[in-house]
Amino acid sequence: DGGITQSPKYLFRKEGQNVTLSCEQNLNHDAMYWYRQDPGQGLRLIYYSQIVNDFQKGDIAEGYSVSREKKESFPLTVTSAQKNPTAFYLCASSIGEGQYGYTFGSGTRLTVV
């Protein structure tokens, strides 16, 4: 079955540490996205990539970094510069045109301890 796999499902991080969230898709989608979801704030776009080796900042990119070395993979690194990293992180992909909607992964819950 085609889909998006995010791992791990739960992640705990000590303050001052960088962590990387994994996102892999086998849908042959060109575009991939990272969102952050906080209660009452909806989905906020962190980074997106429309093609391999290229990506753009979203609305809240500060403290995050990404790479897109393969079409299937779009990992997100939450750096120590991110002041409030505890959140639910969602990865999504699309064929590259928003009119067809996005397919989402099941999310990673990151908690800073």
Partner 1 sequence: QKEVEQDPGPLSVPEGAIVSLNCTYSNSAFQYFMWYRQYSRKGPELLMYTYSSGNKEDGRFTAQVDKSSKYISLFIRDSQPSDSATYLCAMSPPNTDKLIFGTGTRLQVFP
* Contacts to partner 1 by CB under 8 A: 4, 6, 31, 40-43, 48, 50, 88, 90, 92, 94, 96-107, 109
Closest among 26, 3, 8 to 109, alpha carbons compared: 8
The count of other CB atoms within 10 Å of the CB of residue 91 is 27
Q: Considering beta carbons, is residue 90 or 112 the nearer one to partner 1?
A: 90
d(CA 49, CA 43): 17
Q: Considering beta carbons, is residue 21 or 90 the nearer one to partner 1?
A: 90
Q: How far is the CB of 7 from partner 1 (least distance, A)?
A: 13
Q: Considering beta carbons, is residue 16 or 40 the nearer one to partner 1?
A: 40
d(CA 45, CA 90): 10
